[in-house]
Amino acid sequence: MTGLLGNSILEICYIAASITFILGLKMLSSPDKARKGNLYAAYGMGLAIVATILFKEEFSSEKTLNYVLIFAGLLVGTLIGTRMALKVKMTAMPQMVSFFNGMGGACAAVISLVEFDHLMHTGEFDLGLIIVIVLGLIIGSVSFSGSIIAYGKLEGKIGDKALPAGQILNIVLLLGILGLGAYVTVMDVPNEMFIYIILGLSLLYGILFVMPIGGADMPVVISLLNSFTGMAAAFGGFLYDNQAMLTGGILVGSAGTILTVLMCQAMNRSLTNVIIGSFGGGGAAAGGDKEQGTVKEVTATDAAILLAYASKVSVVPGYGLAVAQAQHTVHSLEKALEEKGIDFTYAIHPVAGRMPGHMNVLLAEADVPYPKLLEMEDANDQMANTDVVLVIGANDVVNPAAENDPSSPIYGMPIIDVLSAKNIIVMKRSMGKGYAGIENELFFHDKNRMLFGDAKDSLESLISEVKNL
């Protein structure tokens, strides 16, 4: 169907899809509605794709449309995406997000290249289109290469590597990319060679600015790259006059940017430093090998007694909880203690885990009531009245070095103030360091007791002991 009627139906479908994107994003703010919101947005995207194929005028000619290739691509993409989503473990969710985000950036870059090639063949050079193409190419390429490096770092396949004078190199490289992009836009006839140079330099910049970033700072990087992909998709919407693509890109870009700013505030970092690649840093902190003191252990029985006779208990979840797949077990401990009249809450650090919201999603999967998930500020306000704080797999987000060790790479990062609680129990497999690669002073503090072992097994032992008291 083509002509005026087909265009009208297409516009209505795009508006409907945009509405589902907005509703879906709104629902994602609440764990009990997040799943439904995600489905709404997915249905909206499906509607936009089908409507484009059926009603877009440019697709009315057999020369410009190959249904076999289109539906083959849809089928292959659907099968791969579905299989990855069903198989992924909660611990690997950040990696999958980074990978999918990188694919979105790659698509945006490819769109820019295709559209530039189209302009070169038609000779219809429009300043606005050239600007959008160049920006989409730069941002999409940076998002792609940066996301793939982030994926490798999260997967443990790529380490933190910083080049000498890396900050200066990144600044020069970024200025060179922007300068060359500006030059291309003012040329009477854009040079195709410059476009591919911009592509190469943008891919290199994405690698160089993510490579030196330490693990503790990775949640901010994921959020930033996500906003890049959203902006690149929005540029694609401009190129194709596609309202659904434009709306979706703007929503992702703006939401990702807001989240990035919030993450930077939570980490007490500068967004400028994220962009130029001087952000954080891995490896051991200066002074990280100093003598810390003696570690005090606790048995499951003694820990259970401490919990059972407390008035208020708070859990600080971390990546170790996800690794042990113990979210359902800690919820069972919560119910066992609440049956004894104990106030039970969760203290959620904004960057706990490997990406923003990792712990919220993990605990929502176990049907933990959302009101029990306290944000860092609210949790810290209540910490002084907490009898026992149970740290499960968290490390950097409770490390006092962030407050008292200027040589630490996490110095200045706000943390969950567990030292204000009356008693602390840290559950870990071993004395291993956190993702930032530094020693945790909390483990050696007089208030703290270590309960070693797999988090799920230790929690099951605690539940059994609590019920027997």
The residue among 132, 351, 102, 116 whose CA lies nearest residue 228 is: 102
Which position among 217, 396, 405, 417 bears the catalytic label?
396
Query: Phi and psi at residue 345, in whole multiples of 5°?
Result: -135, 170
Strands ordered across the beta sheet of 343-348: 373-375, 343-348, 312-317, 388-392, 423-428, 448-452
CA separation, residue 435 to residues 155, 156, 285 (Å): 12, 10, 12
Q: What is the dihedral of CA 93, 95, 100, 106, to 10 degrees?
A: 170
Tell me which H or E stretch contains 52: helix 31-55
Query: Phi and psi at residue 262, in whole multiples of 5°?
Result: -65, -40
Q: Bridge-partner residues for 390, per DSSP?
A: 315, 425
The dihedral region occupied by 425, where left means phi > 0, alpha psi between -120 and 50, and beta the remainder, is beta
Q: How far apart are CA 347 and CA 375, in angstroms?
A: 6
User: For residue 74, what are its two tokens?
Assistant: 């849809």
* Burial of 275 from C-beta contacts in 10 A (0-12 / 13-18 / 19+): middle
Residue with tokens 């503090």: 445
Spatial contact of 24 and 11, defined as CB atoms under 8 Å apart: no
396 is catalytic: yes
The residue among 27, 43, 21 whose CA lies nearest residue 254 is: 21
3-class state of residue 449 by DSSP: strand
Spatial contact of 176 and 201, defined as CB atoms under 8 Å apart: yes
In the 8-state DSSP scheme, what is residue 284? P
Catalytic residues: 396
